[in-house]
Chains A and B, each alone.
Chain A
Amino acid sequence: MRLVLTGNYAAAYAAKAAKVEVVSAYPITPQTQVVEKLSEFIERGEMNARYIRVESEHSAMAACIGAAMAGARVFTATSAHGLIYMSEMLWWAAGARLPIVMGVITRAMAPPWSIWSDHCDLLSLRDIGWIIYFCENAQEVFDTIIQAYKVAENEEVLLPAMVGWDAFQTSHTAEPVDVLSPDEVSKYLPPRRPLPYVIDFERPFTHGSLCYPDRYMEFRYLMDLSMSKAKKAIVEADEEYGDLFGRKYGGVLEKYLCEDAEIAVVTMGVLSGDARYAVDILRKEGYKVGLVRLRVVRPFPSSELKKELKSKKLVCVIDRNISIGRGGILGTEIKALLKNSSANVVNVVAGIGGRDVSYEDIVNIVKRSLDLVEKGEVPEYMWYGIDKEYVVKAVGEYYEPPAL
């Protein structure tokens, strides 16, 4: 069935198609339509699920943990301050190895108050043991949420999964979406098996009680081990989905015109559409450019990225996030991967707080990055699109970090 859906509505349809049994969430812009639609489905009896209303995101995740421990398939969604308020419970969900799936509609953190997209909220939680997917459009949101259950519930993985998409540009933009019915999806996603454990009143247990230094480390090791297995599970889940329903996304990375490329642009999320268009323009001008879009941040596609990028003349990583005092998060990781290769990595921080990054900006970024590589003047990282006059007015000077 083809419907015109926003990214947020596509997420709600995906949770319905995955036969989610419990939803617990607290509304926040720009996530609100996800849970509005789900509550509508549940209220109308179109979805056989319980909607647990809560007073905060911290409680929403606590309710998700309880429901998942009772054996249910669980879904929630949040953004920015809701996500960070929830963050303590996110550690509990991961450590409890519960296959919860959560939509994260990325939004810039305050202050100053903002409702527009950047990826700082989601990426600040990259180290806690959740699988992290990131989508480009509404169709991918729908498909990825279903794939995320397949991966999270894989008995060799058993880790929760976040599925990210950009505020407004993906969350509120309506596009034609191929929607699968719960019956169609059940061929791909069987009912959740009660793993790793389910609350049993006949045999009560305590979860997560005090663990001494002689054993704690093994639990973290086992999470890391499962995360490394998740990569294969992600690729297989994408392949199987493609075989059954005709859409797949290249597993952990999507590549566009990469084979003969000397220059690779690396992006994540909705900017990738503009980046693809920019690649087409640059190709017409004679530049051998390709695009690598990260579809998964955790587990980090290290070997796949290294293989793809190590012999490029220029790797231009566009980060819609900033680790204050360090640079772009993806750029930092990719530089570490490529440190013993001949590739020159230019890390550009752009689009923070919803600042528009057009295809023209990306063409500009690539050309100027190439110029810096040719001059041998590549800085640690750069900001793109900073109003230097404002900076001088505010602090009297402008020097570094450099801004393109």
Chain B
Amino acid sequence: MESKIKFDLITPISYPGEGSAGATGSWRVFKPIIDREKCRKCLLCWLYCPEAAIRVSEENYPEIIYEYCKGCGICANECPVKAISMVEE
């Protein structure tokens, strides 16, 4: 029997989608820049990014998604070879 009640509307359920909270890149004060010369592709920055704002390129380099990166600097802090610098916007 079909119910008239939409069960995913009576309770706060949300399905994952890219950037559902908007383009949070505008919040950034410091911008992380990856130096590919120094990067060893360990991907610790990709793992630690709390916003999933780092993607992995075809050559396995990390790439910052500046549309969503809030500039927290965790990636720069975690990078074992100091390949990420935080530059004021």
Binding site for B on A (CB under 8 A): 95-97, 155-156, 158, 195-197, 203-211, 219, 222, 226
Contacts and interface: CB of A to CB of B under 8 A. Distances in A.
B11 A155 contact: no
Nearest to B16: A204
A95 B14 contact: no
B15 A197 contact: no
Taking each of B3, B8, B14, B15, which has the highest tally of chain A beta carbons within 10 Å of its own beta carbon? B14
Interface residues of B, number: 12
Contact of B12 (A155, A203, A207): A207
B13 A155 contact: no
> Main secondary structure on chain B at its contact with chain A?
loop
Nearest first, the 10 A-B pairs at minimum CB distance are: A196-B7, A97-B11, A206-B14, A205-B13, A222-B10, A205-B15, A209-B14, A208-B12, A196-B11, A211-B12
Given A155-B3, A156-B5, A197 B11 contact: yes
A196 B12 contact: no
B14 A205 contact: yes
Nearest to A97: B11
B12 to A, nearest CB: 5
A207 B13 contact: yes
B27 to A, nearest CB: 15
Contacts of B10: 97, 158, 196, 219, 222, 226
B23 to A, nearest CB: 17
A247 to B, nearest CB: 30
B16 A206 contact: yes
A156 B16 CA distance: 27
Contacts of A222: 10
Nearest to A193: B3
A197 B16 contact: no
9 contacts: A95-B11, A158-B10, A196-B8, A196-B11, A197-B8, A205-B13, A205-B16, A210-B21, A219-B11
B2 to A, nearest CB: 11
A97 B7 CA distance: 10
Nearest to A98: B11
Given A197-B13, A207-B13, A219-B12, 5 more contacts: A97-B10, A204-B16, A205-B13, A205-B15, A207-B11
Contacts of A96: 11
A148 to B, nearest CB: 20
Nearest to B8: A197
A156 B7 CA distance: 10
A52 B16 CA distance: 30
Contacts of B12: 95, 207-209, 211, 219
B9 to A, nearest CB: 8
A155 B5 contact: yes
Interface in B4-58: 5, 7-8, 10-16, 21
A204 B16 CA distance: 7
A327 B21 CA distance: 46
A38 to B, nearest CB: 28
A112 to B, nearest CB: 41
Nearest to A203: B15
A224 to B, nearest CB: 12
A200 to B, nearest CB: 11
A261 B13 CA distance: 51
Contacts of A210: 21
Contacts of A156: 5
A151 to B, nearest CB: 16
A47 to B, nearest CB: 29
Taking each of B3, B5, B8, B21, which has the highest tally of chain A beta carbons within 10 Å of its own beta carbon? B5
Taking each of B8, B10, B14, B15, which has the highest tally of chain A beta carbons within 10 Å of its own beta carbon? B10
A270 to B, nearest CB: 36
B6 to A, nearest CB: 9
Nearest to A156: B5
Contacts of A197: 7-8, 11, 13
A176 to B, nearest CB: 40
B14 to A, nearest CB: 5
Nearest to A209: B14
A264 B78 CA distance: 71
Contacts of B16: 204-206
Contacts of B11: 95-97, 196-197, 207, 219
